[in-house]
């Protein structure tokens, strides 16, 4: 069976759903195909720290109501090292910018609801996805569902199918360039039923390894604990988790640490990855399909947002005025912001993690960098500007 639409979107993660919603509000049709079930997509905990640009974009996409009601504004963060802790006042140093804590799970839910309320065409639990005729006026996506073959003919295809999707590998090998960096440590990422250890996020550098102390609500905490690259979730019992967090926190924080049940536990590999170009003929990549950042800088979800902002703007101009220049420049425009976030996320990661390959000199130099940051308004301002994000 063949269906026709304007934009065929592969992947119903934050990027695909947000693109479909924003285009719908401008009268542009799309069909979203997703290999997993809605429950599976919703069940992924992942990110939750939103740049002001992302918050503004989500409001413009019509899903700001619950975000404004339940989102937690975070005007500053704390960085801890050698039992010292200092605060970086994001709002003051950036002239008003700050992050909002609002879980990706809620964003995905809000987008799913918004698409359902507006008759969005989303197809879940598909298989055998493939892309065809990208050099033709009407390329197509083929997939199977319930033992039937389906085809979507469209003007353009948006590859929002994440790092393990089929879109990026569809770009010929002699065209696609990839830039990759792996780190000698991963994270155990946790969602726990426990009171956050602090009102604001704390990034802890410790010789035993990094800890991120974040939250999702006054009763739910989100932790990222540096672990080995060979570790599995089974290696990290709840006892080990809480004793390790406690060992890496300063005594005052460790004393007030509230422990609770683990609601979600996963290994998050630390990787920096960029694919170029982010477009090929009538295929456009957005989000994790084109780039991965280590989560230390809270950039992954926000980059998926800015990609969708640039891509939707290009489609809207194309259908509204016939302009093709924004479409032609999409990749270059998105990559400028992507590489700045890649650099920042890599820098934050290496600044704050205990690198097993570091010798005594590197460890001393790392502490000196943290001391400099704790004493330099200029260094804190530079961090704050990248943390709240480069304007779209």
Task: Give the interface with ligand APR as residue ranges (CB under 6 A).
Answer: 10-16, 33-36, 41, 46-47, 104, 126, 129, 160-162, 164-166, 287-289, 300-301, 304
Pairing mode, strands 121-123 and 262-276: unpaired
The answer to whether residue 387 is catalytic is: yes
d(CA 84, CA 156): 53
166 binds ligand PHB (CB under 6 A): no
- Among ligand PHB, ligand APR, none, partner that 244 touches (CB below 5 to 8 angstroms by kind): none
- Among ligand PHB, ligand APR, none, partner that 160 touches (CB below 5 to 8 angstroms by kind): ligand APR
d(CA 81, CA 260): 25
Q: Which residue from 156, 81, 101, 163 is spatially nearest to 315, judged by alpha carbons?
A: 156
Question: Do residues 2 and 151 touch, judged by C-beta distance below 8 A?
Answer: yes
Strands of the sheet with 2-4, listed across from one edge = 2-4, 148-153, 140-145, 127-132
Residue (47 or 338) nearer to ligand APR, CB? 47
Residue (31 or 212) nearer to ligand PHB, CB? 212
Residue (82 or 128) nearer to ligand APR, CB? 128
Taking CB under 6 A as the criterion, which residues in 192-221 touch ligand PHB? Answer: 201, 212, 214
296 binds ligand PHB (CB under 6 A): yes
d(CA 28, CA 7): 8
Candidate residues 48, 294, 331, 346; the one interacting with ligand PHB per rule CB under 6 A = 48
The answer to whether residue 203 is catalytic is: yes
Reported as type and span, the H/E element at residue 367 is helix 360-375
Residue (167 or 296) nearer to ligand PHB, CB? 296
In the complex, the smallest distance separating the C-beta of residue 276 from ligand PHB, rounded to whole angstroms, is 25
- Token code pair at residue 98: 């700050």
| CB contact burial 200-216 (16+ within 10 A = b; e otherwise) | bbbbbbbeebbbbbbbb
The answer to whether residue 318 is catalytic is: no
Residue (50 or 152) nearer to ligand PHB, CB? 50
- Among ligand PHB, ligand APR, none, partner that 222 touches (CB below 5 to 8 angstroms by kind): ligand PHB
In the complex, the smallest distance separating the C-beta of residue 16 from ligand APR, rounded to whole angstroms, is 6
- Token code pair at residue 378: 């200029």
- Token code pair at residue 29: 């049709």
Residue (165 or 346) nearer to ligand APR, CB? 165
Pairing mode, strands 283-285 and 156-159: parallel
The answer to whether residue 223 is catalytic is: no
- Among ligand PHB, ligand APR, none, partner that 214 touches (CB below 5 to 8 angstroms by kind): ligand PHB
Find the catalytic residue in 52, 223, 295, 353: 295
Report how many residues bind ligand PHB under the rule CB under 6 A: 11
| Neighbour count for residue 328 (Cβ, 10 Å) | 12
The answer to whether residue 299 is catalytic is: yes
14 binds ligand PHB (CB under 6 A): no
Q: Is 255 exposed, middle or buried (0-12, 13-18, 19+ CB in 10 A)?
A: exposed
295 binds ligand PHB (CB under 6 A): yes
Q: Assign 102 to helix, strand or coil.
A: coil
Q: Which residue from 268, 316, 318 is spatially nearest to 294, judged by alpha carbons?
A: 268
- Token code pair at residue 212: 């991120």
- Residues annotated as part of the active site: 74, 203, 295, 299, 387
Residue numbers of the site for ligand PHB (CB under 6 A)? 47-49, 201, 212, 214, 222, 295-298
């Amino acid at each position: 069976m063949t269906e026709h639409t304007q934009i065929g979107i592969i992947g119903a993660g934050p990027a695909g759903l947000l693109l479909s919603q924003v285009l719908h509000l401008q009268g542009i049709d799309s069909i979203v195909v997703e290999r997993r079930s809605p429950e599976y997509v919703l069940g992924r905990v992942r990110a939750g720290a939103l740049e002001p640009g992302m918050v503004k974009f989500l409001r413009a996409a019509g899903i700001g109501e619950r975000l404004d009601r339940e989102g937690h504004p975070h005007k500053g963060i704390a960085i801890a090292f050698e039992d010292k802790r200092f605060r970086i006042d994001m709002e003051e140093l950036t002239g008003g910018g700050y992050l909002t804590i609002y879980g990706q799970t809620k964003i995905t839910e809000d987008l799913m609801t918004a698409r359902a309320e507006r008759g969005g065409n989303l197809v879940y639990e598909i298989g055998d996805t493939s892309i065809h005729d990208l050099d033709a006026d009407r390329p197509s996506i083929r997939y199977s569902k319930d033992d039937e073959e389906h085809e979507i003919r469209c003007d353009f295809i948006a590859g929002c199918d994440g790092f393990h999707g089929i879109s990026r590998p569809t770009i010929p090998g002699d065209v696609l360039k990839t830039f990759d960096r792996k780190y000698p440590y991963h994270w155990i990422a946790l969602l726990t039923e426990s009171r956050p250890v602090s009102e604001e996020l704390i990034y802890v550098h410790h010789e035993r390894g990094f800890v991120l102390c974040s939250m999702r609500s006054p009763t739910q905490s989100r932790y990222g604990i540096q672990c080995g690259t060979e570790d599995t979730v089974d290696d990290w019992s709840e006892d080990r988790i809480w004793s390790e967090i406690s060992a890496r926190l300063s005594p005052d924080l460790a004393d007030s640490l509230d422990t609770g049940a683990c609601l979600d536990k996963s290994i998050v590999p630390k990787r920096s990855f960029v694919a170029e170009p982010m477009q090929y003929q009538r295929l456009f990549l957005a989000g994790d399909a084109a780039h991965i950042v280590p989560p230390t800088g809270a950039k992954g979800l926000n980059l998926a947002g800015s990609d969708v902002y640039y891509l939707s703007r290009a489609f809207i101009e194309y259908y509204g005025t016939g302009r093709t220049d924004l479409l032609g420049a999409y990749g270059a425009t998105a990559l400028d912001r992507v590489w700045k976030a890649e650099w920042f996320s890599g820098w934050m990661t290496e600044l704050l993690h205990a690198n097993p390959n570091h010798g005594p000199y590197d460890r001393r130099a790392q502490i000196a960098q943290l001391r400099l940051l704790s004493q330099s308004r200029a260094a804190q301002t530079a961090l704050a500007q990248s943390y709240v994000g480069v304007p779209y």
